[in-house]
Amino acid sequence: MSIRLKLLRKKLGVTLETLAEKSGMTKSYLSKVERGLNTPSIAAALKLAKALNVKVEELFSEDSVSLDSYSLVRSHERPDTSPGYAVLAHQVSERSLLPFIIYPPAEFTDKTFKEHVGEEFLFVHEGQVEVDFMSERVILERGDALHFNAQKPHRLRSVGAVQAQLLVVVHSSED
């Protein structure tokens, strides 16, 4: 499970600090799990899966995605969290395209900027969003799309009266 946890966390763009906060576990414990020095209990694995918004099987799965397989996530199966995000695919660790629906907060709650290997595509489904690239800020309206190198530091926030909803697709071939 150690390799799978780190792979999932990195693919989802979640820091150890954020995972520790969301799961109620310490950063040092999670680091040990990722390095294979600790094996989490089933209760801990369930907390980690919930914090990462994936099925617990993905933490343990070693199966490869076959050409015949597909991932279907029905709208009623994903959590409708606001602000937050919902993963729109199963078997995340086996995929290089990661689709999400994101409900960004109204304020930049985290002072840190996200950056990761790959590309990111944003499509504003509802509301308005501000994308902060450190040196430049861009406002996107409903129907707007933005594609950029995800190594460019970035963060998002919802602006306006309506909670923003974005389709975000991250491409990452990093394993």
Same structural domain, 29 and 81: no
pTM for this one?
0.62
pLDDT tens digits along 8-63: 887 777 888 889 998 999 999 999 988 888 888 777 888 888 888 777 777 766 55
76 pLDDT tier (thresholds 50, 70, 90): confident
- Asked if the model's pLDDT at residue 170 lies above 70, the reply is yes
Same structural domain, 32 and 90: no
Model pLDDT, residue 82: 46
Write the CATH number for 35: 1.10.260.40
Domain that includes residue 147, residue range: 75-171
pLDDT tens digits along 87-126: 677 666 566 777 888 888 888 876 778 887 788 999 999 9
> In angstroms, how far is CA 30 from the centroid of its own chain?
17
Residue 89 forms part of a structural domain:
yes
Mean pLDDT of 62-74: 61
Mean pLDDT of 130-149: 95
What tokens were used for 145?
A: 């799309």
Model pLDDT, residue 175: 47
Of 56-60, 68-72, 77-81, where does the model show the most confidence? 56-60
User: Distance between CA 34 and CA 59 in Å, rounded?
Assistant: 11
Same structural domain, 24 and 80: no
User: Distance between CA 87 and CA 15 in Å, rounded?
Assistant: 16
Domain count, the chain: 2
Residue with the bigger pLDDT between 170 and 13: it is 170
Same structural domain, 47 and 93: no
Same structural domain, 98 and 42: no
137 pLDDT tier (thresholds 50, 70, 90): very high
Query: Does residue 157 contact residue 132 with C-beta atoms inside 8 Å?
Result: yes
Same structural domain, 135 and 159: yes
Residue 30 forms part of a structural domain:
yes
Model pLDDT, residue 62: 58
Same structural domain, 19 and 79: no
* DSSP, residue by residue, 140-156: E-TT-EEEEETTS-BEE
Write the CATH number for 122: 2.60.120.10
Same structural domain, 79 and 164: yes
Looking at 59-63, 147-151, 154-158, which range is the least confident one?
59-63
Same structural domain, 81 and 53: no
Model pLDDT, residue 90: 66
Same structural domain, 6 and 47: yes
Residue 67 forms part of a structural domain:
no
Same structural domain, 126 and 48: no
